[in-house]
Amino acid sequence: MIFDELLKEIDGLESNGVSCEGRILVSDRAHLLFDFHQVVDGLREVELGNSFIGTTKRGIGPCYSNKVIRNGLRVSDLRHMDTFGAKLSTLLNDAAMRFKGFEYSSKTLKEEVEKYEKYAERLGPYITDTVHFMNESILQKKKILVEGVRY
């Protein structure tokens, strides 16, 4: 999940008097797409040479890879910032071991954690168990509008 666009939309709505709390929900199960995913996407494409995929280099493939091998960070991890940095460090170390040319510093890690601390604070009211919410809403025959990833 990429937060900058979502926050712009929320800010735009609220600046026009539309309250978003309780109306916009962010799934606690959504995976976080980090800047390093984009870098890894490009490195993977170069590694493939003439067999390249033709990726958009937005990091979707590497993010999904983390999801599949079950080491990706999710929105729910924003509720546990005490362990967030260590989990992100593990992902960055994995990427550094896997891809020549991928490097990161403790400063980079610190900056990413600080950025996501701000996201956690801003998005806290919107984060919920959307599976439970959807099941309850369906049982109550409520109308639901769902938006997935847009690129």
d(CA 74, CA 88): 11
Confirm whether residue 56 is marked as ligand binding: yes
What is the residue whose two structure tokens read 């690129």? Answer: 151
Cα–Cα dist 64/37, whole Å? 10
Chain center to CA of 3: 7
Active site residues: 67
Distance CA 99, CA 25 (A): 35
Residue 55 counted as an annotated binding residue: no
- Known binding site for IMP: residues? 56, 70
- Known binding site: residues? 56, 70
